[in-house]
Chains A and B, each alone.
Chain A
Amino acid sequence: MNANLMCSSPIRSLHNVGVCYQRRSGLFRQSPFWALNDVSFDLFRGEVLGIIGRNGAGKTTLLQLLADIIKPDRGVLQTNGAQATLLSLQIGFIPNLSGRENAIMSGLLLGLRRSTIQSRMKDIIAFSELEEFIDQPIRQYSTGMRARLGFSVALQLNPDIFLIDEVMGVGDANFKKKSSEAMLEKFHSDRTFVLVSHDLSMIRRLCSRVVWIEHGATRDEGNPEAVIRAYQACLIPPSNPLPRIPKETTGKP
C-alpha cells in the first residue's frame, strides 16, 4: 500500500529548508540563530511519518512549518493545499467559562465549525466523563478533568494532516489507556500523520517512515528500523561525536 502512496505527489515537500530566529543581544545588535538550517524530506498522503531527534534539534519548529504557522527563511517548502493541524490540547481555555463553552472555544480555534462542535457535544461529554460538571466553570476542575476535556475536543478533529508532538494519552491510568487507544484508532484511517516523539518503541510501532533531525538538519530518513538503530547508536556512545555544523553568521531578519 505504501509503495503506491509513494508514487503520488507529496502533500508537503521540503528542500533545504532553514528557519532563522533573531536573538537580541543589545539595543541594536541581533545575533541570528538557525533553529533549522537544512531540512529536506517529502510527506505523502496517508503515511505516518515519525520525526526523531534530541532536545533542541528543531522538531517543534519543523511542526510549525508543516502547520503553516511560520514560513522558512531559506529553502523551499511546497504544499498542495492540504490543511495541517497541530494537536494542541486545551488551547484557548478560559478558566471562568464552563466546560461546554470552553469546548466550543477550543474547537473553533482548532478548526471546527460551531455547528460541528455542538452536534458532537454529546460525544465530547461522554468521552471526557465530565457529565454533570460540563456546565461548571473549568477553574473548578481538577488538572485531570481539564486534560480529559481538552483531549475529547481534539479527538473530534479530522484535518488532512495531523501533527502530533509527544501527546498520545492524557489523564489518569484509565483515561490514558482509553485516550491513547482512541488516538491509535485514528491512525488506521487514511489520514496523514506526523508524529514527534522520544518514545522510540512507539515510533517503531506506528510509523511507516522516519526522519531524523540533528542540529536543524536531516541526518537520515527512511525505514524506521534502520533510522532508529542509527540514531540510537549515535545517542549511546559518547565516543562518537557528531560533526559540528558550521555557525552561520548571515541571515535575513
Chain B
Amino acid sequence: MHKARYFELVFYKTYADLRAEAARTYISFLWWILDPLINMVVFYFVFKVILNHGTENFVSVLLVGLVFWKWFTNSIQHALNSIPIHLGLIQQIYLPKLLLPLITILTDFIKFMVVFSVLILLLLLIGITPSVAWISLPVLFALQLLLVTGGGCLVAAINPFFPDLRILTEHGLTLLMFLSGVFFDVSVVPEPYRVFFFVNPMAVMIDAFRLVILENRLPNWFALGYVFVFGAIILAVALTMLARFDRVYPRLTLA
C-alpha cells in the first residue's frame, strides 16, 4: 500500500524539482541544453584552440566523453547531499531514505536524456551517421544508470555520518574525470596500461559509448559485464546501509 505512494512521491518530487529549477531562471529549460553546451565549448577551446591537442575527430570524442561524464558526476554530487538537504523533512515524517537519492538520480537522468538528444543532433550535424550498433545504446544506458544509482546511493548513505566526504568526493571526481578518458581516446593509453585504465568502470563506459556512437562497433561485452558486477555490488552495499540506518539518519544533527 505504501509502495505505490512512494512511487508517486518519487515521480512527483522529481517533476516538482525540475519545474522549480526551471522557474528560477529567465530562460529556464533552455539552460539544461545551454549549460552542457557551454561546458563543451570551454573544454573544446582549452584543448583544441589553446593546447592544439588531439586528432581530427577530437570534437566528437570530446562531446561524447563530456556528456556521459557529466551525467555521472552530476548524479553523484546531487545524490551525495540528498539526505542532509532533507533533514528537516525526515525529522517530521517517515520516509525510506533510499527515496531521497533516487529522486536526484531520476532528475539527473531526465536532464541527461535532454542533453543526449542535443548531442545526437550535434553529431549528425558534424557528419556522424547512425548505424545498427546504436541499438546497443539502451543496454549501455541501463548499465550506466546502474553504476550511477549504486555510486549515488553509496555516497548518500555515507555522507550523513561523514560530512567531509563531500570535499573528498569533489577531488575524487576530478581525478576520476582525467582517469576516465573524457579528453582523450583510449588509443593514446599504452597497451600494457590499458588493463589498469579499464579497472575504472567509467573508463569502460565512455569507451563503449564512443565505440558504438562514433565507430559503429559493438562494445566489449566482457568489460561491460565487469561494470555490471561492479555496479551491482556497490548498489547492494548502498541499499544495505540505507536500510540499516533508515531510522538513524533523522538523528544525525551534524550534517
Q: Do A and B bind each other?
A: yes
Residues of chain A at the chain B interface (Cβ within 8 Å): 19, 21, 24, 64, 67-71, 85-86, 88, 91-92, 94-97, 101, 104-105, 108-114, 137
Please determine whether A113 and B8 come into contact, CB atoms closer than 8 angstroms.
Answer: yes
10 pairs, A vs B, C-beta closer than 8 Å: A19-B251, A70-B248, A91-B93, A92-B89, A94-B20, A95-B20, A96-B23, A97-B23, A109-B89, A113-B5
Q: Which residue of A lies closest to B246 (CB)?
A: A71
| Residues of chain A with a CB closer than 8 A to B70's CB | none
Please determine whether B94 and A21 come into contact, CB atoms closer than 8 angstroms.
Answer: no
Please determine whether A108 and B89 come into contact, CB atoms closer than 8 angstroms.
Answer: no
B57 contacts the other chain (CB 8 A): no
Shortest beta-carbon distance, B164 to chain A, in Å?
A: 11
| Residues of chain B with a CB closer than 8 A to A105's CB | 12-13, 16
Shortest beta-carbon distance, A61 to chain B, in Å?
A: 9
| Residues of chain A with a CB closer than 8 A to B95's CB | 109
Which of B12, B23, B92 contacts A137, CB < 8 Å? B23
A112 to B94, CA, bound (A): 13
Shortest beta-carbon distance, B37 to chain A, in Å?
A: 24
Shortest beta-carbon distance, B165 to chain A, in Å?
A: 16
Please determine whether A64 and B91 come into contact, CB atoms closer than 8 angstroms.
Answer: yes
Shortest beta-carbon distance, B28 to chain A, in Å?
A: 10
A19 to B17, CA, bound (A): 34
A92 to B17, CA, bound (A): 11
| Residues of chain A with a CB closer than 8 A to B92's CB | 69, 86, 88, 91
Shortest beta-carbon distance, B249 to chain A, in Å?
A: 9
Q: Which B residues, 1 to 37, have Cβ-Cβ distances below 8 Å to chain A?
A: 4-5, 8-9, 12-13, 16-17, 19-20, 23-24
| Residues of chain B with a CB closer than 8 A to A110's CB | 93
| Residues of chain B with a CB closer than 8 A to A95's CB | 20
Which of A21, A71, A86, A114 contacts B247, CB < 8 Å? A71
Shortest 10 CB-CB contacts between residues of A and residues of B? A96-B23, A88-B92, A96-B20, A71-B247, A108-B9, A114-B8, A94-B20, A69-B94, A70-B247, A69-B250
Please determine whether B254 and A69 come into contact, CB atoms closer than 8 angstroms.
Answer: no
| Residues of chain A with a CB closer than 8 A to B24's CB | 96
Please determine whether B12 and A21 come into contact, CB atoms closer than 8 angstroms.
Answer: no
Residues of chain B at the chain A interface (Cβ within 8 Å): 4-5, 8-9, 12-13, 16-17, 19-20, 23-24, 89-95, 247-248, 250-251, 253-254
A67 to B13, CA, bound (A): 22
| Residues of chain B with a CB closer than 8 A to A91's CB | 89, 92-93
Please determine whether A68 and B16 come into contact, CB atoms closer than 8 angstroms.
Answer: no
Shortest beta-carbon distance, B108 to chain A, in Å?
A: 18
Shortest beta-carbon distance, A13 to chain B, in Å?
A: 18
Which of A24, A86, A114 contacts B12, CB < 8 Å? A114
Shortest beta-carbon distance, B15 to chain A, in Å?
A: 9
Known contacts A71-B247, A96-B24, A108-B5, then 10 further A-B pairs from the complex at CB < 8 Å, ordered by chain A residue: A68-B94, A86-B93, A88-B92, A91-B92, A91-B93, A92-B13, A96-B23, A108-B8, A108-B9, A108-B13
Which of B17, B19, B89, B251 contacts A21, CB < 8 Å? B251
A101 to B91, CA, bound (A): 23
A85 to B92, CA, bound (A): 9
Q: Which residue of A lies closest to B8 (CB)?
A: A114
| Residues of chain B with a CB closer than 8 A to A112's CB | 5
Please determine whether A97 and B247 come into contact, CB atoms closer than 8 angstroms.
Answer: no
Please determine whether A109 and B9 come into contact, CB atoms closer than 8 angstroms.
Answer: yes
Q: A108-B5, A137-B23 are in contact. Are A24 and B93 (CB under 8 A)?
A: no
| Residues of chain B with a CB closer than 8 A to A69's CB | 90-94, 247, 250
| Residues of chain A with a CB closer than 8 A to B248's CB | 70-71
Q: Which residue of A lies closest to B88 (CB)?
A: A91
A252 to B250, CA, bound (A): 17
A95 to B5, CA, bound (A): 23
Q: Which residue of B lies closest to A68 (CB)?
A: B94
Shortest beta-carbon distance, A37 to chain B, in Å?
A: 15
Q: Which residue of A lies closest to B21 (CB)?
A: A96
Which of B5, B19, B89, B90 contacts A111, CB < 8 Å? B5
Shortest beta-carbon distance, B158 to chain A, in Å?
A: 15
A71 to B19, CA, bound (A): 35
Which of A64, A71, A97 contacts B16, CB < 8 Å? A97
